[in-house]
Amino acid sequence: MEGSGSEAGETSINWVRKYGGIVHYRHLLGEHRILVADPQGLRTILVKEDEKFLRDIQLGIGSRLNIVLLTNDGAEHSYQRKLVNPHFTQMSLNASFDIFLEQAQDLKNSVEDQLKGVTEKLLPIQNMVTDCVKEFICRYAFGEFPKMEDSSQNIVTALMSALSLSPIVSFTQTIPILGWLPTKSNRALAKNIKFANDFVKKLMEDKRAKLMTDQGKEEMKKDLVGRLFLEADSSKPLTEDQVAGLISTIIFAGFQTTSTAITWCLHILSEKPDIQEKIAQEVAEVMVHDGCWTWSNLDKLVYLDAVFKESQRLIPIVSSVLKKAQRGAKINGYDIPEGTVVVAHLGAAMRNPHVWEDPDEFKPERFLNTTMDKYMYQFLPFGTGAHKCLGHQLAKVESRLILALLIQNFIFERPPGYKVRKASQLLITPNPKVELIVKRRN
Ligand code: HEM
């Protein structure tokens, strides 16, 4: 059975090493599953014959949270994706670059504040990055946050708590009735889901109220949900219900993903001072030349980009995607019985020794002076095909800005006795949370 390995994802990686890129195994209660980590097989499942491998909702809570884009498939999915895609392109995000830069600078300033009067300090860097990313996405997507009656609750902690209950969610996937028993964790989950849904409702009410005045309409152009609302109001057919679904999706998919990926990158770099130094030099060169931050000079940080890619390859926060085989499904010539759960294992694919040289080594150079075509269906931190991450450009700008500003100004080191494991909570998250010693660079 999968999951008995010491760290999240390691069992699957070891299977692929031992048995090759396609592995048949038994899951809970002996359920047959097929794990796929081979490029050809992944291409079949995620792109070429994706209509024969439909989503298997691993988030048992999906149906209770209206996270539509993360849970639907086929015509409904592609219709919504088409309407939403234009808001997530580089060009569209570039219009909000100042917001992103301001947030990253705030993070840098708060680290600086913590270092006032001391040469180094142990800082809760994961929490600090998470707060920064939360602000990033909130400002870009929602503008103002709605004021909730229950001010003790906060949307991010509510959703994070829902996520932290995911092992139970995974069981309820196999035995759905377990999800409805009046246990303490199910009650907590229900409370958090209700809060998240009420939050979305309140945000929608606030936006609707703004539609009443010309000034309100002008303000709405400044954030994503406002713009979608204006489109729903005009000729473009994204209904209010679909906008509500998108808000939940962005909160769910956008908050913890990027901050966790950035945290893992800092975790890896905290034992590689030479690589931090190289990044700092690259940033300094670009800044001396260009003088200010823009999207296009972020594109010049090719070494930083390679480092972030390599950290995503070694620790992919979304390590697998679950699909259910439809009639006639075949992978690499094998017939897959209808209804079989097929696990597209992005994490194992990125550590497959048949594809990657020195798969366990941290070697950012592998991504330099090469085209990404070389890694098609092998490097998949954001997935691929029709369901490829909607927010990958957003994640890219956030991670580059945050890492560039932090490493340009500070050095990160591990405290004595530092030990962090990879835990699986839908995402691969650090356990315990990452805290690092931070020093000023100059
Ligand atoms: C480093 C950060 C991130 C990583 C590694 C990541 C990874 C992924 C992966 C692997 C998928 C594919 C899932 C599948 O095939 O079913 C996905 C889908 C998705 N992601 Fe991300 N993601 C990140 C950040 C974000 C952000 C910031 C957003 C904000 C909008 C976002 C929104 C979504 C959505 C809406 C989907 C579903 C797309 C669809 O099915 O059409 N993600 N993400």
Ramachandran category for residue 308: left, alpha or beta (phi over 0 → left; psi -120 to 50 → alpha): alpha
Mean pLDDT value of segment 75-100? 88
Q: Quote the domain boundaries for residue 23.
A: 10-440
* CA–centroid distance, residue 318 to ligand 1 (Å): 8
Mean pLDDT value of segment 220-238? 73
Our CA angle for 200, 173, 252, nearest 5°, is 25
Tell me: the pLDDT tens digits for 17-72? Answer: 999 999 999 998 899 999 999 999 999 999 999 999 998 754 444 455 566 677 77
* CA–centroid distance, residue 388 to ligand 1 (Å): 7
Identify the residue whose C-alpha is closest to ligand 1 atom 1. 258
Question: Radius of gyration of the chain from Cα atoms?
Answer: 22
Q: Is the pLDDT of residue 319 over 70?
A: yes
Tell me: the pLDDT tens digits for 253-286? Answer: 888 899 999 999 999 999 999 999 999 999 999 9
Is residue 320 in a domain? Answer: yes
Q: Which two tokens stand for residue 334?
A: 């094998």
- Ligand 1 binding site (Cβ under 6 Å of any ligand atom): 69-70, 81, 249-250, 253-254, 257-258, 261, 317-318, 321, 381-383, 387, 389-391, 394-395
Q: Is 429 in contact with 260 (CB distance < 8 Å)?
A: yes
Report helix, strand or coil for 59.
Answer: coil
Report helix, strand or coil for 318.
Answer: coil
Mean pLDDT value of segment 373-392? 93
Is residue 352 in a domain? Answer: yes
- Which residue in this structure is represented by tokens 């296009």? 296
Angle between helices 125-141 and 240-269 (to 10 degrees): 150
Amino acid (one-letter) located at 302: V
Spatial distance between the Cα atoms of 219 and 276, rounded to a whole number of angstroms: 41
Is residue 5 in a domain? Answer: no
Mean pLDDT value of segment 241-252? 75
What's 205's domain CATH number?
1.10.630.10
Q: Is 221 in contact with 230 (CB distance < 8 Å)?
A: yes
Q: How many domains does the chain contain in total? A: 1
* CA–centroid distance, residue 235 to ligand 1 (Å): 28
Q: Which two tokens stand for residue 144?
A: 């103002």
* CA–centroid distance, residue 258 to ligand 1 (Å): 10
Q: Is the pLDDT of residue 107 over 90?
A: yes
Longest dimension (CA), the chain: 67
Tell me: the pLDDT tens digits for 342-378? Answer: 999 999 999 999 889 999 999 999 999 888 888 899 9
Identify the residue whose C-alpha is closest to ligand 1 atom 37. 70
Q: Which residues contact 150 (CB under 8 A, 6 or more apart)?
A: 195
Measure CA of the first residue to CA of the last residue in the chain; give whole Å. Answer: 51
pLDDT at 232: 66
Q: Is the pLDDT of residue 172 over 50?
A: no
Q: Does the annotation place 132 within a ligand binding site? A: no
Q: Is the pLDDT of residue 297 over 80?
A: yes
Identify the residue whose C-alpha is closest to ligand 1 atom 39. 387
Q: Which two tokens stand for residue 276?
A: 């931090």
Is residue 3 in a domain? Answer: no
Is residue 1 in a domain? Answer: no
Percent of the chain with pLDDT over 90: 54
Mean pLDDT value of segment 384-412? 96
Tell me: the pLDDT tens digits for 179-225? Answer: 666 777 778 777 777 777 787 788 888 888 888 888 988 888 888 88
Identify the residue whose C-alpha is closest to ligand 1 atom 42. 391
* CA–centroid distance, residue 89 to ligand 1 (Å): 14
Choice from 389, 398, 401 to test ligand 1 binding pocket (greatest atom count within 8 A of CB) = 389
Is residue 196 in a domain? Answer: yes
Is residue 4 in a domain? Answer: no
Pick the range with the lowest mean pLDDT from 27-31, 174-178, 208-212, 429-433. Answer: 174-178
Q: How confident is the model at residue 168 (pLDDT cuts 50, 70, 90)?
A: very low
Mean pLDDT value of segment 314-323? 94
